[in-house]
Amino acid sequence: MAERADWAGLRERRMGEPGAREAYQAARLAFELGRAVRELRQRRAWSQAELARAAGMTQSAVARFEAGGTIPTLPVLERLAEALDADLDVRVVPRPAA
């Protein structure tokens, strides 16, 4: 149990460092985007190589993206959406009042 408390303490200290929360949010967004594309690709029963060909990318770029390792540009997201016959919906939504 002490190990868990130590990890929680370390996480809290790290999240208090400048830029940590922003980096965490960027990583979360990259992961969620990658998961969404992977799910659409799998529904089509495509391999990463097939999606890469359809989107004009390399298989390794698709793999990195699906793993949450990169944050794509809007043009890349547009190519992926088009290749998957999907709509790209980018929105800025106000947060609920506290």
Give me the number of domains the chain comprises.
1
Structure tokens at 92: 């800025």
Per residue in 29-85, pLDDT (tens digit) is: 999 999 999 999 999 999 999 999 999 999 999 999 999 998 889 999 999 999 999
CA distances from 27 to 3, 31, 82 (A): 25, 6, 24
Does the residue 79 lie in any domain?
A: yes
Does the residue 96 lie in any domain?
A: no
Q: What is the pLDDT of residue 4?
A: 64
Does the residue 89 lie in any domain?
A: no
Q: What is the pLDDT of residue 87?
A: 96
Does the residue 90 lie in any domain?
A: no
Per residue in 10-32, pLDDT (tens digit) is: 778 877 888 888 888 888 999 99
Does the residue 24 lie in any domain?
A: yes
Contact between 34 and 67 under an 8 Å Cβ cutoff? The reply is yes
Does the residue 36 lie in any domain?
A: yes
CATH number assigned to the domain comprising residue 43? 1.10.260.40
Q: Considering Cα of 77, then 69, then 43, then 48, what sign does the dihedral take?
A: positive
Alpha helix segments (H runs only) across 1-98: 2-15, 20-43, 48-55, 59-66, 74-83
Going by C-alpha positions, the residue among 52, 97, 94, 45 that lies closest to residue 76 is 52
Structure tokens at 72: 């794509």
Does the residue 8 lie in any domain?
A: yes
Q: What is the pLDDT of residue 18?
A: 83
CA distance 55 to 36: 16
Range of the domain at 73: 2-83
Neighbours of 62 (CB within 10 A): 26
Instruction: Please state the pTM of the whole predicted model.
Output: 0.78
Does the residue 65 lie in any domain?
A: yes
